[in-house]
Amino acid sequence: MQRRDFVLGAIGTGALSYLTPALAAMAAGGEPIPYGTCIRNDPLFEDPAYRKAVLEYCKVVVSEGSLKWGDLRPDRHTFTFEQADRLMTFAEEHGLEMRGHTLAWYGAMPDWTNEIASPEEARLELTTHIRSVVGRYKGRIKSWDVVNEPLSDFPKPGDLIRESIWQKHLGADYIELALRTAHEADPDVQLVINDYDIEQATDRGRARRKALLDLLRDLIDRGVPLHALGIQGHLKGDIPIDKSGLTSFVAEVKAMGLAILVTELDVIDDALPGPEAERDAAVAACARDFLDAIGAAARPERVLTWGITDQHTWVPIWFSRQDGLPNRPLPLDADFKPKPLMDVIQEFTHSFS
Ligand code: XIL
């Protein structure tokens, strides 16, 4: 029996008006939330098992690196689009949607950008880059993480916006400049601000939610073009999710007229127990808390994980385990076998269909 039939049978159609949005959508029928992953081109084009998994599970892809400044801009005058083009072509050939990530970020910046020495120069470089990159994929990439991780690590009055080459020269205004420039380059593109660690039940989590709400509200009040918030979802398996805090946060973002996307879900498992079954269950439970808390307030437009298999994940770069065991943050294991996290994602994305 489909979950939807089960729900309908269990509640009776007369009770529809009492359903949560997720259950009502499930009862009404419709498409599941499109699921996807970030992609590394090397395995995509060299490992048939990786490619098969992507095609089997995904409707959306985003490149893990090839649209970042570090990959696109070897020097001030050059754009190297080969790898991004390759993924774009693959996506189009297979009927997958491709998201864009990212135009203004503090990370993955080529060294030459440190030579940028004035606000005028920063404005010129940032706008030239955004016009060229958004313009190149106009009508093909329909959703861009325009600004990535704008918040300070632990936002405090006077320290709300993270240091970056853009913030150094332009202050917080770089955010508006990036959004306006992307909008001009492709007025139909969905403009997204993307950030992380807003789900935690900690003082830092609360500070980040508040700072993000203030930032979004200010941009909207001033008429800056912006369409969605990307909640990355690099969850720390050992830190509880503030479920009610996250639900009210999402409700407030939705009330501003913004869509919600889950853009980079994975569960960082460096501090979780070693045994696989126990660890996989904890990872799945953490993701379920996160998705359910978001789903209680809004239907996220997309759910993407930051990788699909434990074989290719950024997590060990920063969060390797002291016991030397490999990390298991993603929905498929290193042999492409689905883990409980995949069940959670499928159940969630289908619960809105
Ligand atoms: C990471 C990639 O996964 C790494 O391969 C790369 O070296 C650094 O960036 N938040 C983001 C992503 O928005 O762009 C980051 O991706 C992971 C954290």
pLDDT tens digits for 204-257?
999 999 999 999 999 999 999 999 999 999 999 999 999 999 999 999 999 999
Residue 350, Cβ density class (10 Å: 0-12 exposed, 13-18 middle, ≥19 buried)? middle
Q: Which pLDDT tens digit goes with each residue over 166-198? A: 999 999 999 999 999 999 999 999 999 999 999
The Cβ of residue 110 has, within 10 Å, a number of other Cβ atoms equal to: 15
Q: Is the predicted pLDDT of residue 4 greater than 60, yes or no?
A: no
List, by residue range, all CATH 3.20.20.80 domains of the chain.
34-350
CB 268 within 8 A of CB 315: yes
The tokens describing 159, both together, are 């320290």
Name the pLDDT band for 8 (thresholds 50, 70, 90).
very low
Please give the distance, rounded to the nearest whole angstrom, from the Cα atom of residue 314 to the centre of ligand 1: 7
- Poorest-confidence range of 13-17, 164-168, 295-299, 312-316? 13-17
pLDDT at 28: 57
- For all residues of the chain together, what is the average pLDDT? 94
The residues lining ligand 1, judged by C-beta closer than 6 Å to any ligand atom, are 64-65, 108, 148, 232, 234, 264, 314
Strands 259-268 and 234-236: parallel
Beta bridge partner(s), residue 268: 236
Over range 24-36, report the average pLDDT.
77
pLDDT over 90 percentage in the chain = 91
User: What is the reported pTM?
Assistant: 0.93
For the chain, where are the alpha helices, taking DSSP H only?
3-11, 21-28, 41-46, 48-57, 69-72, 82-93, 119-136, 165-170, 173-185, 203-221, 243-255, 276-295, 315-319, 340-351
Please give the distance, rounded to the nearest whole angstrom, from the Cα atom of residue 300 to the centre of ligand 1: 21
Q: Is the predicted pLDDT of residue 165 greater than 50, yes or no?
A: yes
300-317 as b/e: b if 16+ CB within 10 A = bbbbbbbbbbbbbbbbee
pLDDT at 36: 99
DSSP letter at 108 equals S
Over range 309-333, report the average pLDDT.
98
pLDDT at 182: 99
pLDDT at 23: 54
Q: Is the predicted pLDDT of residue 339 greater than 60, yes or no?
A: yes
Instruction: Give the residue carrying structure tokens 């069940």.
Output: 343
Q: Which atom of ligand 1 is nearest to the CA of 108?
A: 8
pLDDT at 15: 44
| Contacts of 256 by beta carbon, 8 Å cutoff, 6+ apart | 216, 217, 220
Q: Is the predicted pLDDT of residue 77 greater than 90, yes or no?
A: yes
Residue among 99, 193, 314, 315 to mutate when testing ligand 1 (max atoms within 8 A of CB): 314
Give 34-350's CATH code, choosing from 3.20.20.80, 3.30.420.40, 3.40.50.880, 3.40.50.360.
3.20.20.80
Please give the distance, rounded to the nearest whole angstrom, from the Cα atom of residue 313 to the centre of ligand 1: 9
pLDDT at 30: 83
For 143-202, where are the alpha helices, taking DSSP H only?
165-170, 173-185
Instruction: Give the residue carrying structure tokens 């929905």.
Output: 331
Q: Whose CA is nearest to atom 8 of ligand 1?
A: 108
Over range 97-109, report the average pLDDT.
98
